[in-house]
Chain A
Amino acid sequence: MSEIRENLRYTTDHEWAEKLSQPKKVKVGITDFAQNSLGDVTFVELPEAGKSVKKGEVIGSVESVKAVSDIFAPLTGKILSVNEALNDDPSPLNTAPFEGGWLIEMEIENEEEWNQLLSAQAYEQHAQ
C-alpha cells in the first residue's frame, strides 16, 4: 500500500505539492504511488531554476528501468530551485519521495489553482 500524506495536495498525474512557510512558495515531488509504479529510477531530468511555467506544462522527466515519464508543472508560476542532488543520485525518489526526493520549489501565481488540487482523500480514490 502506497503512502499518502494528509498535509499535501495532489495532481491526477501523481505529483504532490506542499505549501511552505513563505507565502506562495510550494514544493513539488512525485508520489509514493508513482515511484512504486515506475520502479527503480535511474535518471531525473530537471528544469532550470528561474523558468516560468504554466500548469500542466512538461518541465522534466523521470526515467526508470521500465520507462520515461514526464514531470508536469502542477501549478502556474516560477521555478525557484531544483533538487540538484538528484542529478548525481536519483535514489531518494524511490526511498523518500516526500522528503529527499522532492523535485522543485516554485512560487505560484494564483491561489485558485492551489485550491483545485486534489486533497489526500480525493487522491487516494484516484490512485486506486
Chain B
Amino acid sequence: MRYLPLTQKQEDRILKLCQVESFDQLVQSIPESIRVDGLLRLPEALSEMELCQHFDNYANMNSDAKSYLGQGAYDHTWPAVLDYLISRGEFLTAYTPYQAELSQGTLQSIFEFQSMIAEMTGMEISNASLYDGSTAALEAILMAARLQRKEQGTIIVSEGVYEDTLSLLKTYLDPLNIKIEIWKSDATGQAQASSAPKVADAFGVLLQSPNKWGVVEDWAQLQSAAASLNVKSIAHVPEMHSLTEFSAPGDFGVDIVSGEGQGYGLPLGYGGPYLGLLCCKKQDVRQIPGRLVGQTEDATGQRAFCVTLSTREQHIRREKATSNICSNQNLMALRAAIYLSLMGPKGLETVSKMNRSRLFTLQSLLSDTLKTDAVTISTAPCFNELSLHFKSEKTCESLLRNLESKNILAGHINKAPVESGFQSSLTIAVTEKSCPNSLKVLADAICGELK
C-alpha cells in the first residue's frame, strides 16, 4: 500500500515550482551529518494478524494489580449507556466547532455542559472546557493576574495542591516572572486564613480541595485569606463529586473556580484525555479563556445557540487573546454532560455517599487494627482519599514496595503536611468501585506490614 503517493510527474512539478533541480538540492540546507543515509532502520513489516498479536503482547504487560492511586484520577463507575451514546458517529468524529453555528446540536450540548458545571460549582459562568485540571488551574491564575492588571507578581498556592499540578504551574509561571508562594497547611492538612503568607505583590490565592492528602478544605478560609490580601480567590476542585457532598465554592463568593472533570464519567488513562473546567463571575467574563456558547434567538425568533464573546479568542485577538491554549475538548465535555444528565441529582448523591462510606470503612478497618506510633491515620474531613502520615519516609516507602509485590498499588506518597511533624503521607484513593472485601484485604495487608 502506498501511504505517500507521489508520482514522478508530481515530484517534477514541485521541484520546478521550488526552482530546484533535484530533491537533494531542495534539502541541501540540512547538514549532511544529520541526514538519514539509506533506509530508516525499521523492523520488517507485519501482517495484520501479527500486528494484533504484537499489541496484545504489550497489553498483556499491563499489571492487574488492585490500584488505590488517586491524585486527580479516580476510578468511578458510569451507566453503560454512556459508552454507546458517546460512540455515535455524530459525536465521536465531531471536533471543536469551527463552523460553530452550523452545528446547533454540538453547541446545545456545550451549552448544557456549561449550565451543569456552573450549577455544580455555584458559579455564574462556565466555559466550554479546557485541556485538563492542572492547566485549568494555570488558566485560573493567569486570569486572576489579568483581572488584577498584574503582568508579574505572586500567586499564593495552598500546600495541598497536587505535586504534578504545582510542577506544571512552575513550568508555565517561571518564564512569566510570576512567583509561587506556598500557603502552609495546619497539622491536619487544612489551610487556615490566618497563616496565609502576606505578600505585597500577590494578585491571587489558590486553594485546592480535596487536597493532595484527600482533605476537604474550607472555602471560607480561602475567601478570608483573599479578602485580607485584597486579591482574587481561586478554588481548585480536582474531584467534582466532592461538590455533591461538600459546599460549592460559588456559594462563598469565590472569584474563579478551576477543576478536573474526569470523575464525571471519563475513563482513567495515562495522559488523558481528561477535562479541564473553568468558571467565573459574570462581571469577569471577558477575561475567561476558552470558548463560550450562549443561547440566543435566530432571525425567525426561534431559540438558537451561538459561540459568544469570541473576540477574547485567538482567531480574532491574535497575540492578545485571553489564552493560546484554549483547546476545548468537546467529546470529553459531552461525555461529562451525558453522564451528569443520566445520573441526575439523586444519582450523584448516591455516588458521593458511597464514596464516603467506603472511605469510612477503610478508615475504621485501619484504626481498629493499626496500633503503632510510627503512623497516624488522618481524621480531617476527607473525600475519596485517606492519608496515613508516617514519621519515617523509609517506612512509608518500604510499605508501598512490599504491597506492590503483593499486587496492591496502595496509594501515592506525598510529603506530609509540614506542620504535622510527620515526614511522608501515603494517600489512598477509594471510590464506589472499591468493594468492602478488597478494602479488608488492603487494610490487613497494611496492618500486617506495619506490625
Contact = CB atoms under 8 A, between A and B. Distances in A.
Contacts of B316: 67-68
Contacts of A43: 286, 311
Interface string A55-96: 000000101000110100000000000000000000000000
A65 to B, nearest CB: 9
B149 A63 contact: no
B186 to A, nearest CB: 37
A48 interface: yes
Interface in B308-335: 311, 316-317, 320
A48 B149 CA distance: 8
Contacts of B320: 61, 68, 70
A67 B311 contact: yes
Interface residues of A, number: 8
A68 B149 contact: no
A61 B316 CA distance: 13
A61 B286 CA distance: 12
A55 B52 CA distance: 66
A43 to B, nearest CB: 6
A70 B320 CA distance: 10
Contacts of A48: 149
Contacts of A68: 311, 316-317, 320
Contacts of A70: 320
A45 B320 CA distance: 12
Interface string B259-297: 000000000000000000000000000100000000000
Nearest to B316: A68
A67 B310 CA distance: 10
A63 B317 CA distance: 10
A50 B198 CA distance: 25
Contacts of A61: 320
A76 B210 CA distance: 50
Contacts of B149: 48
Contacts of A45: 286
From A45, A48, A61, A63, name the one whose CB has the most chain B CB atoms within 10 angstroms: A63
A43 B311 CA distance: 10
B296 to A, nearest CB: 13
Contacts of B311: 43, 63, 67-68
B427 to A, nearest CB: 43
Contacts of A67: 311, 316
A68 B149 CA distance: 19
A43 B287 CA distance: 12
Contacts of B317: 68
A96 to B, nearest CB: 23
A45 B316 CA distance: 16
A34 to B, nearest CB: 17
B306 to A, nearest CB: 12
B285 to A, nearest CB: 10
A43 B149 CA distance: 17
A40 B379 CA distance: 58
A68 B310 CA distance: 10
A87 to B, nearest CB: 10
A48 B146 CA distance: 12
B444 to A, nearest CB: 62
A81 to B, nearest CB: 16
Contacts of A63: 311
A45 B311 CA distance: 12
Nearest to A66: B311
A88 to B, nearest CB: 11
Nearest to A58: B320
B311 to A, nearest CB: 5
A67 B315 CA distance: 11
A45 B309 CA distance: 14
A120 B70 CA distance: 68
Interface of B: 149, 286, 311, 316-317, 320
8 contacts: A43-B286, A43-B311, A45-B286, A61-B320, A68-B311, A68-B316, A68-B320, A70-B320
Nearest 10 CB-CB pairings of A with B: A68-B311, A63-B311, A68-B317, A48-B149, A68-B316, A43-B286, A67-B316, A61-B320, A67-B311, A68-B320
Given A43-B286, A67-B316, A68-B320, 5 more contacts: A45-B286, A63-B311, A68-B311, A68-B317, A70-B320
